[in-house]
Amino acid sequence: MNNWHFPRPQLAKHYLDILALGISSNLAIIAPRRKGKTLFVLQDLSPLAQKNRYLPVYASLWQNINAPHEGLILALEDAIEALDRRAPISRLLKTKIKKTTVSNELLGKMEVEFADKATKVTSKELLLLERMLTELQKKAGKKTVLLLIDEVQHLATSPLFDPLTHALRTMLDKRQGCVKTIFTGSSRHYMNLLFNESQSPFYHFVETVPFPDLGEEFIDFIVIKLDQEHSISINQKSLSQAFDAIDQSPYWMMKLIAHILTFGSDINSAREYILELLEAAEGFEGIAKRMKIIDRVVYLALSEGHNPFSKELLAKIDKETSVKGIPSNIQRSIKRLAQQNLISQIEKGRYYIEKPGLKRYLLESKI
């Protein structure tokens, strides 16, 4: 599905303009899982950045989930090596695009989001990072190094990663905008811990910018492609509704298109199939079974946009669960939901649902 990438050049330009204006040298793009962040950064932003005299270097902190510094070290090593060989940086980016696409093809495997054996970066590795960044800056010549650090929320998931976070801040501070960074990440809860908590080294260091959902232009793009390249005519409205049902995720949209192309199915059956696939891939059954009853009630209230501390909800909890309907129990439940990355709370009283399909699943399955 290589040629199905819907380009977003204006959005890429917008982010680069913010960097160029000098408002901040460090941006953070936050959006839920599978919204197309990585491919946007690699396919839309990097090429434009190259045209604007940047040297983009992509690193995923999930390269080794237990040792996020390894992703950084490897990325710097690869970039230095490419420059030494006078190989085009775009080739390096293409390899990363391929890797991302291939790993996205693997369906059904539950991705591990948290380290099980988190390891602390050693002082030797920190020195290496520092030295390699200096070397890369030198080799970049007149170009500005633009670090594209993916899965940055990972830094907030274990205190063992704190030394790396501190070191990164110092490394970037020292260079005073001569090295710029675009961070991407998927958990608003952990990103918030990283960027907005006063005790975090990244506090007030990074400008958070929204990553808008793909919209009708994306639907148009698909409808036209299906028609022109595959002679399949599809109802625009039905496709748009299916896109809503999968929470505007291009990942699931591409799975849906692949299903239509492979089996010649109509939009409605493809949609049903994809929703089942989504449930299985997200492990909704396991999540639902592990959830305490109070957490389920609170999650459903939050996903309806209701106040979790309302009298009605407290009464419902008293009646339907084995715990007391008191604010401290709700508070604990919210904390559990946030830790499991099912919800995020960024400002006081505002909650975001991180797994929207889960609501439908909980309501329908009544586990």
Ligand X SMILES: Nc1ncnc2c1ncn2[C@@H]1O[C@H](COP(=O)(O)OP(=O)(O)OP(=O)(O)O)[C@@H](O)[C@H]1O
- List residues near ligand X by CB under 6 A: 1, 4-6, 33-39, 100-101, 104, 186, 250-251, 254
Q: How far is the CB of 149 from Mg ion (least distance, A)?
A: 12
| The entry of ligand X, Mg ion, none that residue 62 binds, CB within 5 to 8 Å by partner kind | none
Q: Minimal distance in Å, beta carbon 5 to ligand X?
A: 5
Is the Cβ–Cβ distance between 299 and 337 less than 8 Å?
Answer: yes
Residue 25 binding: pick among Mg ion, ligand X, none (C-beta 5-8 Å cut-off by kind): none
Which CB sits closer to ligand X, 70 or 150?
150
* Cβ proximity to ligand X, 61 vs 294, nearer residue: 61
Q: Which does 94 bind (CB under 5 to 8 A by kind): ligand X, Mg ion, none?
A: none
Which residues make up the interface to Mg ion (CB under 5 A)?
38
4 binds, among Mg ion, ligand X, none (CB under 5 to 8 A by kind): ligand X
CB of 199 within 8 A of CB of 228?
Answer: no
Distance CA 292, CA 119 (A): 31
> For the sheet containing 54-60, what is the strand order?
54-60, 144-150, 179-185, 26-30, 207-210
Classify residue 214 by its DSSP letter.
P
State both tokens at 50. 């190259």
What, of Mg ion, ligand X, none, does residue 96 touch, CB below 5 to 8 Å by kind? none
Q: Who's near 51: CB < 8 A, 6+ residues apart?
A: none
12 versus 362: smaller Cβ distance to Mg ion? 12
248 binds, among ligand X, Mg ion, none (CB under 5 to 8 A by kind): none
Neighbours of 315 (CB within 10 A): 11
345 binds, among Mg ion, ligand X, none (CB under 5 to 8 A by kind): none
CB atoms within 10 A of CB 110: 10
Least distance in Å: CB of 4 to ligand X?
5
Nearer to Mg ion, 112 or 315 (CB): 112
Q: Return the number of the residue (39 or 297) whose C-beta is nearest ligand X.
A: 39
Smallest gap from residue 258 Cβ to ligand X (A): 9
Residue partners of 259: CB distance under 8 A and separation at least 6: 265, 270, 273, 274
DSSP β-ladder status, 207-210 and 179-185: unpaired
Residue number, 156 or 171, with CB nearest to Mg ion: 156
In the structure encoding, which two tokens stand for residue 195, read together? Answer: 């960027």
Our CB check for Mg ion shows the closer of 38 and 165 to be 38
Residue of 126, 132, 127 whose CA lies nearest to 161: 126
Min CB(241)–ligand X separation in Å: 18
Taking the C-alpha atoms of residue 317 and residue 313, their distance in angstroms, rounded to an integer, is: 6
